[in-house]
Amino acid sequence: MAELEVLTDAAVLIDGERIAAVGRYTDLQPGTGNVERGVEVVEVAGVVYPGFIDCHTHAVFGAPRLDDHERRALGMDYKTIAAAGGGILESVRDVRARSDAELAALTRARLAVLLAHGATTIEVKSGYGLDCETELRQLRVIARLAGAQPASLVPTFLGAHEVPPEFRDRRADYVRLVCEEMIPAVTRERLAVACDVFCEPGVFSVAEARTVLAAARRHGLALKLHADELDGSGGAELAVEVGALSADHLAGVSPAGIRALAASETVAVLLPATLVFLGGRSQAPARGLLDAGAALALATDLNPGSSPTLSLPLVMALAVSQLGLRHAEAVNAVTVNAAAALGIAADRGQLAPGFRADLVVCDVADWREVAYWMGGNAVTAVWTGGSACPLPIGSVSLGPHVQA
Ligand code: NIG
Ligand code: FE
């Protein structure tokens, strides 16, 4: 992961939605070699990267959770806040009360900002509905936006994000609802490619998560897992056991979990902005995972409770300063390995012939700067599927103007 091929005076030849060739600028000029004379030439200054891939977001939500933010600053932790009526269930109440049009408009604005920071492929989870109808509504919003803006969206069903209040005393019934009604409904409409579970002490146990993932697999969904986010409970081991594409978060991963990940194809997705936003917690053991041989990816975890973060370059900078990643590891973690965390590594995440022509340009002198300017945005141009995206996007409203 610490190796990166960096070409100077380079050019990328794009044919339709795909990359046809990558090489020296002089070799790829129109009228030379295999390049036709009439090819359109676009000159860019700076560094061209493969389009960044944000492999973990919860972008479909309504209001920000400012009271949680404030309570945390006063010393309350994530789980205490949730028990006091904040947390995921506050966003669930909010999302249930909002219209599809409003959710779509808010999500679209957030996707535009993610794209302006270089994210050309974005995974988006449901999980703020927690009833069949609202989970489907969230996923339909994602489906609608997939064709209506330039980034590629990868939808994930996260009905097991929390137990909703109406099932508080009958959680087994909720797990059954997820398995027997929600997953079949989601797959019938082809609304998700993967299923995720928040496997965490006090949320869903390893046994409950295993049940949900088994049902998801039976319906042909790929598997992902919020594993060992706050406290360790064997989530990483479960992700490996079921052959999940990724185990995400991992701040509480055990030595056995690290060994299991290292010996598997499951990608460890780390989300350093989340732990910074939650404050005062130690980060996932990134170096331990890397040294053991695990594949690492990075993502924003964009969500209203633990990571209102819209910039993968910020996440890369945090990975260097908080997780001890090298710059090359950070770049690989948002390109090749993030693609692997979504099961699409053969299609995107590299500037190489045959790959999807998703490109990001940063106006910088050194490729490492993308993981250096903390909170700035060096992105000056983005292409998705061979087409230039309109940038800059101007200012957008990230949250609603009225309470639901
Ligand atoms: O990835 N852990 C579960 N899901 C989110 C938080 C969601 C929320 O607080 O609304 C996460 O951190
Ligand atoms: Fe998450």
- Structure confidence by residue, pLDDT tens digits, 20-46: 999 999 999 998 877 899 899 999 999
Over residues 353-373, the mean pLDDT reads: 97
Minimal-distance CA residue to ligand 1 atom 2: 198
Structure tokens at 382: 């983005």
Give the sheet arrangement for strand 267-270, strand by strand.
52-54, 119-125, 152-160, 194-199, 222-227, 246-249, 267-270, 296-298
pLDDT bucket at 302, cuts 50 / 70 / 90: very high
- List the single range of 45-59, 123-137, 268-282 with lowest mean pLDDT: 268-282
Closest to 299 (Cα-Cα) out of 343, 346, 339: 339
Does 13 score more than 90 pLDDT? Answer: yes
Distance from Cα 111 to the centre of ligand 1, integer Å? 18
Does 303 score more than 90 pLDDT? Answer: yes
Does 403 score more than 80 pLDDT? Answer: no
Over residues 358-385, the mean pLDDT reads: 96
pTM over 0.85: yes
- Given the CA of residue 249, which atom of ligand 1 is nearest to it? 1
Q: In sequence order, what are the residues at sequence separation of 6 or more whose Cβ sits closer than 8 angstroms to the Cβ of residue 164? A: 89, 92, 130, 131, 174
Torsion of CA 254, 258, 260, 266, to 10 degrees: 120
- Contacts made by residues 242-247, CB under 8 angstroms, sequence distance 24+: 242/210, 242/213, 242/214, 242/217, 244/213, 245/194, 245/340, 245/341, 245/342, 245/343, 246/55, 246/56, 246/297, 246/341
Domains of the chain (ranges; CATH) run 50-341 (3.20.20.140)
- Given the CA of residue 248, which atom of ligand 1 is nearest to it? 1
Over residues 349-354, the mean pLDDT reads: 98
Q: For residue 71, what pLDDT is reported? A: 95
Distance from Cα 340 to the centre of ligand 2, integer Å? 17
Minimal-distance CA residue to ligand 1 atom 3: 198
Distance from Cα 95 to the centre of ligand 1, integer Å? 15
- Given the CA of residue 301, which atom of ligand 1 is nearest to it? 1
Minimal-distance CA residue to ligand 1 atom 1: 301
Distance from Cα 362 to the centre of ligand 2, integer Å? 27
Over residues 128-138, the mean pLDDT reads: 98
Decide: 296 and 268 in contact? Cβ < 8 Å.
yes
Considering every ligand atom shown, identify the ligand nearest to the alpha carbon of residue 61 and give its number. Answer: 1
- Structure confidence by residue, pLDDT tens digits, 67-126: 999 999 999 988 899 888 899 999 999 999 999 999 999 999 999 999 999 999 999 999
Q: For residue 374, what pLDDT is reported? A: 95
The whole-angstrom distance between residue 103's C-alpha and the CA centroid of its chain comes to: 19
- Given the CA of residue 305, which atom of ligand 1 is nearest to it? 9
Residue among 67, 226, 246 whose CB has most ligand 1 atoms within 8 A, to mutate: 226
Q: Which residue has the higher pLDDT, 30 or 396?
A: 30
- Given the CA of residue 68, which atom of ligand 1 is nearest to it? 9
Q: For residue 393, what pLDDT is reported? A: 66
- Structure confidence by residue, pLDDT tens digits, 149-164: 999 999 999 999 999 9
Does 391 score more than 90 pLDDT? Answer: no
Residue among 68, 161, 163, 249 whose CB has most ligand 1 atoms within 8 A, to mutate: 161
Q: For residue 55, what pLDDT is reported? A: 99
- Structure confidence by residue, pLDDT tens digits, 170-227: 999 999 999 999 999 999 999 999 999 999 999 999 999 999 999 999 999 999 999 9
Minimal-distance CA residue to ligand 1 atom 8: 305
- Identify the residues whose C-beta falls under 6 Å from ligand 1: 58, 87-88, 91, 198, 226, 229, 274, 301, 303-306
pLDDT over 90 percentage in the chain:
91
Amino acid letter, residue 42:
V
- Residue recorded with tokens 């990001």: 360
Residue among 275, 303, 307, 315 whose CB has most ligand 1 atoms within 8 A, to mutate: 303
- Structure confidence by residue, pLDDT tens digits, 240-259: 999 999 999 999 999 999 99
Q: For residue 394, what pLDDT is reported? A: 65
Q: For residue 398, what pLDDT is reported? A: 85
Distance from Cα 291 to the centre of ligand 1, integer Å? 28
Task: State the average pLDDT for the chain.
Answer: 96
Q: For residue 305, what pLDDT is reported? A: 96
